[in-house]
């Protein structure tokens, strides 16, 4: 049986969180009453009275293998420990399936069905106490034979992740030897919380890069209230690592393994704040490191972060990491072992594989281009519509990056993706305050609306519509929802001719052929006929929009 934790990596730091073994994934619990790692049976233990090994063997052999078993990769959930590298302790922080040595994950399912059949045939003969003892015996017999374990594909780039623990007695790491052993990348612990910095970080990262390895840096998270501590930790991390905007550098990594006492909602908010500060400052999508039971138990298996690159820790003795939590459809890096033996590094080291080729690793580590750079480099009509850049990339309010062009802007965040806004829609957006406004971040490019000749763009907080006849106007909140339910730009209302404005008792938006009014007292939206003022306001609204666009044009300049 492997230990529940390893000695501390960072011996200079005093505190450590406890290691908490986690149970199996809930999808597998109902069909696996026998513990997956087996039960401990003292040496020399005898079978219950009235049973024999022959009886149990016959029951075991008579039971066929169930036809509806999940693939082995879906069943590789077992013991795991928390705290891969906390201050004062460096535990695995990952899942280890089966027993030490990698027992066959199919065995427990066979045991379960065999025991069930045996109990059914002998229910009148034995008491529950005797049956439980027999279960122990069957488990002990079935798990006594060792089986071979699988490993990641040899074509996947291999890597290590290290901290000060890999420098016992301040011994150096021979990074040339590490490279010569076939290792392609190294991820080095940089910081923890807001105070700790790994004293070996800078030298290790530089030496590993000089030896020809792709390099990365991770921050061990110390979540805490208030949520603003996430931004403090992110800034401490970047102050040590820099912006990683060069070739051969992986994006910054958030190592998330402790809750700091936060519930799943607060912990998700803390995580979001950290990640968005990183992406806002670097223009890169940060990587999340965690393990399955932490995400399912302490993050409520949220899929809100599934767009971030995923570094998945699971020690399952399989050739793939199996099913992923949190809505992730794929993984970028897989930490598959904590007991690697690598020339040049003293003691055991965590082993990783990158998915799933050297070319993929190189793309993941290309810090020379931001996500905005990549979108603009894709060319096509988008570049013609935007024109030439008028400034460098800038941090955007609400999280993300943006860059102005002569006739528009590019915006990027992990949640929104890279979006291109141009023309009057872009000017309207900037006139309202951009991502700092109620519209927040764009969720689409400027695109054709359903109404002939009209454009639209979607944002987190509303939409902007434009046509030559009406100008550019925003619609948001419950008025927008009601408008879309009616059919949007091809509804009987037509296109908006004003932004939303205040009226007694609520808010209102005017359209070409009617109005929508939100009533605060009832929290409902009512459809009103167009008034002469509202109908005649369309040309005036268009002129006002043009004036606002002209004023906003200065925002598109350097």
Distance of CA 26 to the CA centre of its chain: 21
**Residues whose CB falls within 8 Å of the CB of residue 203, separated by 6 or more in sequence, listed in order:** none
Distance CA 214, CA 229 (A): 30
What is the structure's pLDDT at 422? 97
Report if residue 24 sits inside a domain.
no
Which region, left, alpha or beta, applies to residue 97 given φ > 0 means left and ψ of -120 to 50 means alpha?
A: beta
pLDDT at 531: 80
- Whether the CB-CB separation of 10 and 164 falls below 8 Å is answered with yes
Strands (E), 376-505: 394-395, 401-405, 408-413, 417-422, 447-448, 455-459, 462-467, 471-475, 501-503
Domain count for the chain: 1
Confidence (pTM)? 0.72
Question: Cβ neighbours of residue 360 under 8 Å, at least 6 residues apart?
Answer: 354
Q: Which residues contact 384 (CB under 8 A, 6 or more apart)?
A: none
* Tokens of residue 164, six digits: 């000060």
Q: For residue 433, what pLDDT is reported? A: 97
Indicate if 161 belongs to the active site: yes
CB contact at 8 A, 241 and 217: yes
The answer to whether residue 451 sits within a structural domain is no
Give the number of other Cβ atoms within 10 Å of residue 409's Cβ: 27
- Pick from 331, 340, 286: nearest CA to 313: 331
Interatomic CA distance for residues 459 and 176, integer angstroms: 49
SS (H, E, C) 275-335: HHHHHHHHCCCCEEEEEHHHHHHHCCCCCCCCCCCEEEEEECCCCCCCCCCCCCCCCCEEE
Q: Residue 83 and residue 326: Cα distance in Å, rounded?
A: 19
428 domain-assigned:
no
- Distance between the two ends of the chain, CA-based, in angstroms? 64
Number of separate helices (H) and strands (E) present in the chain: 15, 23
Reading the block at residue 529, the tokens are 């006929």
Nearest to 332 by CA among 321, 341, 340, 342: 321
* 3-state class (DSSP) for residue 174: coil
- How far from the centroid of its chain's Cα atoms is residue 359's Cα? 22
- Catalytic member of 257, 366, 424, 500: 257
Q: How far is CA 341 from CA 97, 347, 412, in A?
A: 20, 7, 41
Sign (positive/negative) of CA torsion 10, 11, 12, 13?
positive
**How many other CB atoms are found less than 10 A from the CB of residue 12?**
11
Domain that holds residue 324: 158-365
The backbone region for 220, taken as left when phi is positive above 0, alpha when psi lies in -120 to 50, beta otherwise, is: beta
- DSSP-assigned letters across all residues of 14-32: ---PPP------HHHHTT-
Give the pLDDT confidence score for residue 163 in this predicted structure.
Answer: 98
DSSP string, 345-369: S-S-EEEEEESS-HHHHHHHTBTTS
What phi and psi, each to the nearest 5 degrees, are found at residue 447?
-140, 165
pLDDT at 533: 55
Q: Which of 19, 90, 255, 350 is catalytic?
A: 255
Of 301, 306, 299, 292, the C-alpha closest to 270 is 299
**pLDDT at position 380:** 86
Question: Do residues 389 and 405 lie in contact, with contact meaning Cβ atoms separated by under 8 Å?
Answer: yes
Is residue 186 situated within a structural domain?
yes
The Cα 199–Cα 53 span in angstroms is: 59
Considering only CA atoms, give the Rg of the chain. 30
Q: Are 351 and 396 in contact (CB under 8 A)?
A: no
Strand, helix or coil for residue 481: helix
Enclosing H/E stretch for 509: strand 506-511
- C-alpha 167/C-alpha 173 separation (Å) is 7
Whether 514 contacts 528, CB under 8 Å: yes
CATH number at residue 178: 3.20.20.80
2 lies in a domain? no
Decide if 117 is inside a domain.
no
Any domain includes 284: yes
Three-state DSSP state, 186: strand
CA distance 403 to 409: 6
pLDDT, residue 327, reads: 98
* Average pLDDT per consecutive 10 residues, the chain (558 residues; last block may be shorter): 31 30 33 32 38 39 34 31 36 33 36 43 41 43 51 96 97 98 98 98 98 98 98 98 96 98 98 98 97 98 98 96 97 97 98 97 95 91 94 94 98 97 98 97 97 98 98 98 98 98 98 98 96 50 38 34
> What 3-state class would DSSP assign to 84?
coil
Closest CA to 75 of 118, 3, 25, 124: 25
C-alpha closest to that of 22 among 411, 298, 217, 374: 298
- Residue 533 located in a structural domain: no
Q: Which of 161, 277, 279, 508 is catalytic?
A: 161
């Amino acid at each position: 049986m492997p230990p529940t934790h390893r000695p501390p990596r960072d011996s200079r730091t005093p505190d450590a969180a406890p290691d908490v073994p986690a149970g199996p994934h809930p999808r597998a619990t109902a069909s696996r009453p026998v513990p997956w790692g087996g039960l401990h049976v003292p040496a020399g233990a005898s079978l219950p009275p009235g049973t024999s090994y022959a009886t149990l063997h016959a029951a075991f052999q008579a039971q066929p293998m169930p036809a509806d078993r999940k693939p082995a990769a879906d069943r590789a959930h077992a013991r795991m420990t928390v705290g891969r590298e906390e201050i004062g302790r460096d535990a695995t922080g990952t899942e280890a399936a089966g027993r030490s040595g990698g027992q066959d994950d199919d065995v427990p399912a066979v045991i379960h069905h065999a025991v069930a059949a045996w109990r059914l045939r002998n229910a009148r003969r034995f008491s529950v106490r005797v049956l439980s003892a027999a279960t122990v015996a069957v488990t002990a017999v079935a798990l006594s034979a060792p089986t071979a374990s699988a490993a990641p594909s040899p074509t996947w780039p291999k890597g290590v992740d290290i901290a000060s623990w890999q420098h016992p007695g301040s011994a150096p790491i021979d990074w040339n030897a590490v490279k010569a052993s076939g290792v392609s990348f190294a991820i080095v612990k940089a910081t923890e919380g807001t105070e700790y910095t790994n004293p070996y970080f800078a030298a290790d990262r530089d030496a590993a890069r000089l030896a020809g390895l792709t390099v990365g840096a991770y921050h061990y998270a110390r979540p805490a209230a208030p949520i603003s501590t996430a931004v403090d930790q992110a800034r401490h991390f970047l102050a040590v690592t820099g912006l990683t905007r060069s070739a051969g550098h992986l994006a910054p990594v958030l190592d998330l393994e402790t809750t700091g006492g936060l519930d799943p909602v607060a912990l998700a908010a803390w995580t979001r704040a950290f990640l968005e500060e990183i992406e806002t400052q670097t223009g890169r999508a940060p990587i999340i490191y965690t393990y399955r039971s932490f995400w399912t138990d302490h993050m409520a298996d949220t899929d809100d972060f599934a767009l971030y690159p995923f570094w998945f820790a699971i020690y399952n003795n399989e050739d793939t990491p199996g099913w992923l939590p949190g809505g992730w459809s794929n993984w970028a890096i897989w930490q598959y072992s904590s007991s690697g033996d690598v020339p040049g590094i003293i003691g055991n080291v965590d082993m990783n594989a990158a998915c799933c080729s050297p070319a993929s690793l190189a793309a993941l580590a290309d810090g020379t281009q931001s996500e905005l750079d990549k979108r603009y480099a894709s060319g096509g009509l988008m570049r013609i519509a935007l024109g030439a850049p008028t400034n460098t990339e800038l941090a955007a309010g609400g999280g993300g990056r943006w860059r102005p062009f002569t006739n528009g802007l590019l915006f990027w965040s992990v949640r929104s993706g890279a979006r291109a806004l141009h023309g009057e829609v872009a000017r309207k957006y900037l006139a309202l305050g951009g991502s700092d406004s109620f519209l927040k971040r764009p969720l689409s490019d400027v695109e054709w609306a359903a109404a002939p000749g009209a454009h639209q763009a979607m944002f987190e907080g509303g939409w902007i519509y434009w046509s030559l006849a009406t100008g550019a106007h925003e619609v948001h909140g419950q008025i927008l929802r009601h408008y879309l339910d009616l059919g949007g730009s091809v509804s009987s209302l037509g296109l908006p001719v004003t932004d939303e404005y205040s009226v007694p008792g609520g808010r209102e938006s005017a359209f070409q052929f009617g109005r929508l009014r939100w009533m605060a007292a009832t929290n409902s939206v009512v459809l009103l006929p167009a008034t002469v003022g509202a109908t005649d306001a369309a040309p005036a609204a268009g002129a006002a929009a043009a004036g606002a666009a002209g004023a906003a044009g200065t925002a598109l300049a350097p």
